[in-house]
Amino acid sequence: MRYARIKLLLGDDFQKLQEAKVLLLGVGGIGGFCLDCLMRSGLRDVTVVDFDVFEQSNQNRQIGSENIGSIKVEQMKKLYPSITPIREKITPLWCEEFDFSPYDLVIDAIDDMKAKVAVAHKTHKKLISATGGAKKLDPTKIEFVSIWKTRGDPLAKKFRYELKKSGFKGDFNVVYSPEPALCKGLGSFVGVTGAFGLSICSAVVRKICS
């Protein structure tokens, strides 16, 4: 059976995965691996939101990127037929108008800071977010902590600053790494960005089953 081994691990809690509703924002280097992990773990009701198409520069780190020029959410639907794809650009306005209430958990795997802050304001009680996975080589440095306890990562620092600036008073956990940047620009390694996605998936499974 497809899920026999994870059923052995989770026991009766596996049914909770089958019944959960999850919203995944972004299916790039982090979100794509997170989605793959979610589907292989037994989740059935996952809605995916992304606007982009695959480019050649994505091929070192993104699932589905062999299909250059294809719409990411449509390609994900081909790989994972049970998902619900939404091709929309995630902006503060989109966040304001979108109904997040049906979902048990929301995953933020986007990199636009204004959108990340807007998502946090709307969903922080059920949010798991990712900070920056680029410029790093060591996946063993990855941590899962409160956004307010992150350190050493410029994107996390910017995230905290913008949250404070916006008057945000809540809390939520993020997957991040304090490993110092090893290059300038957007250098990336799938061993880290993929591990970010897998770490988020693990957090989702543990939270649903707890």
Quote the pLDDT of residue 123: 98
59 domain residue, yes or no? yes
> Total structural domains in the chain?
1
Around Cβ 15, how many Cβ atoms within 10 Å? 13
What is the structure's pLDDT at 1?
86
43: which 2 tokens?
């989740």
Q: Which of 200, 183, 174, 173 is nearest to 137 (CA)?
A: 183
Is 188 a member of any domain? no
Establish if 138 belongs to a structural domain.
Answer: no
pLDDT value at residue 185: 87
177 in a structural domain? no
Q: Which of 61, 64, 83 is nearest to 136 (CA)?
A: 61
Low-confidence stretches of the chain (pLDDT < 70) are none
Please state, in angstroms and as integers, the Cα–Cα distance from residue 107 to each residue in 14, 15, 17, 41, following that order. Answer: 20, 20, 15, 16
Q: What are phi and psi of 137, to 5 degrees?
A: -125, -15
Write down the pLDDT at residue 147.
98
Q: Which DSSP string corresponds to 32-98?
A: HHHHHHHHHTT--EEEEE---B--GGGTTT-TTTTSTTSBHHHHHHHHSTTSEEE-----HHHHHHS
Do 137 and 52 meet the contact criterion of CB atoms below 8 Å apart? no
Residue 68, domain member (yes or no) = yes
Q: Nearest to residue 27, comparing CAs of 65, 1, 57?
A: 65
Q: What is the pLDDT of residue 30?
A: 98
pLDDT at 186: 86
- pLDDT given at position 102: 98
Contact present, 116 and 175 (Cβ < 8 Å): no
Contact indicator for 6, 16 with CB cutoff of 8 Å? no
Residue 184 lies in a domain: no
Concatenating the DSSP letter of every residue in 120-174 gives: HHHHGGGEEEE---TT---GGG-EEEEGGG--S-HHHHHHHHHHHHTT-----EE
Q: Say if 15 falls within a structural domain.
A: yes
How far, in whole angstroms, is CA 156 from its chain's centroid? Answer: 15
Question: Domain range spanning residue 43?
Answer: 4-132+196-209
> Residue 43 has what pLDDT?
97
Q: Which helix (H) or strand (E) holds 181?
A: none
Q: Is residue 55 part of a domain?
A: yes
Q: Domain containing 102 — which CATH number?
A: 3.40.50.720
**Kind and range of the H or E run holding 106:** strand 105-108
